[in-house]
Structure 1
């Protein structure tokens, strides 16, 4: 039974949230390639949150569970403001997972009886509907949102739409610049003579001269460029 639930519900949820995260990332991260399963993992967090909300009456210690889950989500999303982390994939996966959870993880309300599987002669004093009204509302709204979102996102992607060109502040969702790091990719003009490296940052025009331990170490050169461009 558990394997069946994983295959029928969690499997498609994991895959579709990964697609949703990749779709939002492709619309806003235009000059880099990001890889990984973090978008789908955030989708599972979103699905956990929506599952808690849609099946609220079935849980004990609701508030403690909700606060714990929100804290975990907030901490993980906060990591996304660091450079070189694709928070758009996280956000896209989370939102997709939240609405998919409203569709795939609905559970019947307490007291509902499936009369088709009830033993012969079983009597039900008052027949309850399978789901509560708010569950039906969330289900219909989530289906409409997901269908619209995927169709619109794919249409914008095929037309080469750049999200940052239409949203001047959205890039802060993925990286917030601080004195400790920069969100712009460091680029430097270099002149190298043996182990001596003369470098000029193209963004702030700072100059620096360095002695390299290994003149062929591109990682060391890139790190020096990043420090110079801060």
Structure 2
């Protein structure tokens, strides 16, 4: 009897231990936090601080009669609003740090300016696509920033929603929310000093890259190992996903090829599309676009 009590007590303890272990794992998963987005934020802030440190407005502001903005920040103060109304460094500093500039890309063969540091294939491709389209249309000013790559992530979200349409529950709400965000941000791009061509190029590139890289397999294919042997397996992807993948791959390769050939030959895309400049800036009584 004593032995049975000990065995039952040991079995009970083993059961409690097993339950406690499962509970701890569940709690650990519940408190998992995202780290990728904070890393992006910290990296962007760090790059901005480095650019402002190199800029040193109080020392190098000799071309403008206006004073630096927020002079209490010392060498981190911003350029006069007459030069940079977006509160940042001077154009010469941005050019020194690798800003996109048509003349340097085409005539000085500095094609590396088309590529900046990006994390993730879609982020990288979108930044590159936005830079190419921007260089084709904007020739008399420099362009800098990661907005093209960020718009690429929006484009990838859109294509991911379309190509995986059947797995979502609130399809209409998700699509409407995404479209509103994209339309508002593209509308802001028609203001002066905003490179909307980079936004459009990044969005289109990200959209095509999303169709290529973000399709999800069918549930039946994922669970194929748990199905009986006589059950017919489904294809990994649906037919329309294969079609979207193929079309997007062709368009992405063709777009990059044509864009780079035109860019390196010095083609001015504005001569082939006389109204396209309105996509980046619409002149009004309050501002000019030149």
Structure-1-length-normalised TM-score: 0.72
Q: Does 1:67 align with 2:170?
A: no
Q: Does 1:165 align with 2:271?
A: yes
Where in structure 2 are there 5+ consecutive unaligned residues? 1-33, 36-118
Aligned ranges 1:62-211 → 2 under 5 Å? 62-113=171-222, 115=224, 118=225, 122-123=228-229, 125-184=231-290
Offset, 1:112: 2.0
- Name the CA distance, whole Å, in 2 between partners of 1:74 and 1:56: 21
Structure scoring higher RCO (CA < 8 A, sep ≥ 6) equals 1
> Which aligned runs of 4 or more in structure 1 are off by greater than 6 angstroms?
none
Question: Is the 1:58–1:110 contact (alpha carbons within 8 Å) kept by the matching residues of 2?
Answer: no
- Name the CA distance, whole Å, in 2 between partners of 1:11 and 1:142: 18
Offset, 1:182: 1.3
- Name the CA distance, whole Å, in 2 between partners of 1:176 and 1:67: 26
Where in structure 1 are there 5+ consecutive unaligned residues? 4-9, 185-230
What is the aligned length?
174
- Name the CA distance, whole Å, in 2 between partners of 1:43 and 1:124: 44
- Name the CA distance, whole Å, in 2 between partners of 1:131 and 1:109: 6
Task: Name 1:25's counterpart in structure 2.
Answer: 134
The secondary structure found in structure 2 opposite 1:107 is coil
Question: Is the 1:46–1:94 contact (alpha carbons within 8 Å) kept by the matching residues of 2?
Answer: yes
- Name the CA distance, whole Å, in 1 between partners of 2:212 and 2:258: 20
- Name the CA distance, whole Å, in 2 between partners of 1:170 and 1:24: 11
Q: Of the two, which has the highest radius of gyration?
A: 2
Offset, 1:179: 1.7
**Bigger fraction of residues in strand:** 1
Offset, 1:114: 6.1
